[in-house]
Amino acid sequence: MKILMPRMGTSVHEGTVVQWLKEEGDVLEKGDPLLLAESEKVEFEMESPYNGRLVKILTPVQSAIPVGEIMALVETEDEVLVEEESEFGPDPAGAAAPKDGESPPATEQGEGQPFLSPRVRRLARERGVPLEEAAKISGSGRNGRVTEADLEAYVAQRGSGPAAGAAVDIPVPEDADVLPLSPLRRRLSRRLSESVQGVPQFTTFDESDVTDIVEWRKAKGELTFARKGIHLTVTHFLAWAAIRALERIEFQPLNARFAGDAIHQFRTIHLGVAVAVPDGLLVPVIRGAEALSFAELVRRVQDLADQARQGTLTPEDASGSTFTITNAGAAGSLYATPLLNPPEAAILGVGAIRKRVVPLGDGSIGIRDRMGVSLSVDHRVVDGMLAAQFNRVVCQNLEQFDFSVLD
């Protein structure tokens, strides 16, 4: 019987084996912990679906493979497994074995996505080639499939080297300690490399006067929401301001992603909220955020943030976002250049609130609470003028916040 990489959410297309909890030859009972896997930065334990014996492990630790790909073979009482020539088991159609360097037979992948074998996908990440770009390479394999040799030739032609964060052989100085990457840090390294090397992105900066929000929080907010066990932060106001801006027709292109020869523009806002955890960053997702009241939004943000910090998020909770917000101000930073969360087209960040002396509308000078707002976008999807206009509208939504929605 085949052990397959499970689909842990409707928008999850691959997973990474973190640790095998059983070894080849071990006897399995249905429900035994079999392996630890990770998807969308969330780790989960997979149990054996069969009684039998673990005959062969096909997916090494730290290998990222598509949903539905074979990870291992189990011999049950009802069958005796025979070693196959192919490392992925028998050819279902009886087709000839792949040529040297060619990808193994295709398995089911996300709808509309050209097939790339696990080895080709892994090599693409190491070489800093986004998977969408790798899928467009003219393949020399069977049925036009992209082989490892095709990818290497493409990389050589375009002049790219290994991706940032890819494994390289670097001598260890005598006065340095070696700290292995955790599964989360390894995944972050890969995702951020894809973001920087694969997406032409830029950041536009603005500043918002949040004096009214600061004063309301002190006068009413903390008491009102503290009774419900909620610590009201600027992130909640930012989320509301961003959602209201994204609802405007002219700004819908920011709720989108680049998809090769097309742009996928979403009708629903699935808001990602970056949450700092001890070993990195998780981005839980609030689905259908535009339909929530302010109180519902605040509660959902807090619940998901708590789950992220407690390590109880599911892959489904951390996948499928269409627009992300992040708060660098929590660490005291005034401005930041947030990196896109692939494959999203935009990410919005804020800095710390500081009191500043500013000119007022009547010509006088006053002290106001000011906050930096940064918007990074995929330039293939969003132009500079639209990005700047969106950032300004978010700032205005914060400055002219309608506190009646809090009642």
Q: Could you read off the pLDDT of 187-225 as tens digits, one per residue?
A: 777 777 777 888 899 999 999 999 999 998 888 766 677
Question: 171: which 2 tokens?
Answer: 């001598």
The chain-wide mean pLDDT, for the chain, equals 81
What is the rounded radius of gyration, in angstroms, for the C-alpha atoms of the chain? 24
Q: Could you read off the pLDDT of 70-114 as tens digits, one per residue?
A: 888 888 766 544 433 333 444 444 444 444 444 444 444 444 445
User: The dihedral of CA 125, 126, 128, 134: what is its sign?
Assistant: negative
In 3D, which of 365, 375, 376 has the Cα closest to residue 395?
375
Give the chain's end-to-end CA distance (angstroms, integer).
Answer: 57
The structural architecture, per CATH, of the domain 2-75 is Beta Barrel (2.40)
Range with lowest mean pLDDT among 41-50, 235-244, 311-320: 41-50
pLDDT above 90 covers a percentage of the chain that reads: 34
Residue type, 337: T
Question: 105: which 2 tokens?
Answer: 């037979």
CA atoms within 13 A on the CB side of 321: 25
Is the pLDDT at 142 greater than 70? The verdict is no
d(CA 15, CA 65): 6
Where exactly are the structural domains of the chain? 2-75, 110-169+176-198, 200-406
Point out the residues that are catalytic.
Answer: 379, 383
Residue 342: the pLDDT is 83
d(CA 98, CA 77): 31
Q: Could you read off the pLDDT of 336-390 as tens digits, one per residue?
A: 899 998 889 999 999 999 999 998 888 889 999 999 999 999 999 999 999 999 9
Q: Of residues 204 and 311, which shows the higher confidence score?
A: 204
Q: Could you read off the pLDDT of 150-193 as tens digits, one per residue?
A: 787 777 766 544 444 444 567 888 888 888 777 677 777 777 77
Residue 164: the pLDDT is 43
* 128 burial level (CB within 10 Å; 0-12, 13-18, 19+): buried
Is the pLDDT at 249 greater than 60? The verdict is yes
Looking at domain 200-406, does it have CATH number 3.40.50.720? no
Phi-psi region of 54 (alpha: psi -120 to 50; beta: other; left: phi over 0): beta
